[in-house]
Homo-oligomer: A and B are copies of this chain.
Amino acid sequence: MSFHEVENLTEFLDEVKLKMLNITGSSNKNIIEISDYVLANPGKFIRTQLVFIYGSVIDIEKKKLIELAAAAELIHLSTLIHDDIIDEAKIRRNKPTVIAKWGLKKAILYGDFLYTKTFQALNSLENTQIAEVLISCAEQLIEGEFIQLQNISDKNKEDYFKVIEKKTAILFSGILECLGIHGKLVKEKISSLKKLGLNFGNAFQLNDDLADFFDQLNSGKEKFKDLNEGKITYPIIITMSRADKDSRNNISKLIEEKKFDAVFDEIEKNDGFNLTRLERDKAINNCIEYTKTLFKLDNVELMESFLKNSLKA
């Protein structure tokens, strides 16, 4: 598929949404009701955008790109349903979460339903290599949640990147790996695509961490949602690592007492937000470098602007 074959991203998004609707079809009224609610909730479709942008410059038929994007979005969506139970989240994308609206039991079952339907769709592709990559991503997403449950406090930079590699970056990496497989690229190029995906995921998560403090409208998150759930995000970790013992204890106390505005001030004072932005921009630059080694120069410009637009809140 080349650029001129796809009229625009909006059209592609609509086709992916339609595919997702088809995949999640059910005869059960209760399931249909929840699916209608969940699938109507817009979200950024960042995974679909990634498939669209990078899939357009590799020679892959559109049908395969739509299937890949739908599967990736559904894997992401499945994990969100159960993550929201685990995080006790009440709001997702400006609307009540499935657990908030339908209760624990239906939220568990609906998550299971989405997982199952996604695997069914992967199986129907009759491409076990693609399915293997994406199922393995699902496994790591779950493992990432497990690790997050284990070490909520006292996290360092290294732990942080270990968790977000599994929780966020791995699916972006898996998507790009699948594009490489579909495009029959050589091993080295697929390996570069995977690393690009990991960097993309890191930048995406760091940006999302920042959004917890700044940007409520765009992200659809409640303000201080991560903090409320006891999630120690990068701005806090980097601040802690630079602060002296007294300051560290003070920040921990403020978090515990849920005095989040004061936490914000502490981070600002210690330059924690700027350092987070620096780390994010480093990851974005890595993405751009990998992109340059992988693709022709006249395609890189578009990708560069996509990376900057989607990864900088």
Contacts and interface: CB of A to CB of B under 8 A. Distances in A.
Interface in A122-179: 122-124, 126, 128, 131-132, 135-136, 138-139, 142-143, 145-147, 149-150
Interface in A26-43: 26, 28, 30-31
A254 to B, nearest CB: 25
A313 interface: no
Contacts of A105: 85-86, 149
A112 interface: yes
A195 interface: no
A262 to B, nearest CB: 29
B128 A124 contact: yes
Interface of A: 26, 28, 30-31, 79, 82, 85-86, 104-106, 108-109, 111-113, 115-117, 119-120, 122-124, 126, 128, 131-132, 135-136, 138-139, 142-143, 145-147, 149-150
Given A113-B139, A128-B124, A139-B116, A108 B108 contact: yes
Given A30-B150, A105-B86, A131-B123, A116 B138 contact: yes
Contacts of A135: 116, 119-120, 123
Contact of A122 (B109, B123, B136): B123
B106 A85 contact: no
Contact of A123 (B79, B128, B143): B128
A120 B147 contact: no
Contact of A112 (B115, B123, B149): B115
A86 B115 contact: no
B138 A82 contact: no
Give the interface centre of A113, A115, A123, A128 by most chain B CB atoms within 10 Å: A123
20 contacts: A26-B143, A28-B143, A28-B146, A30-B149, A31-B143, A85-B108, A105-B149, A106-B146, A109-B142, A112-B112, A112-B115, A113-B142, A113-B143, A115-B115, A116-B142, A119-B122, A119-B123, A123-B132, A123-B135, A126-B128
Contacts of A115: 112, 115-116
Contacts of A132: 120, 123-124
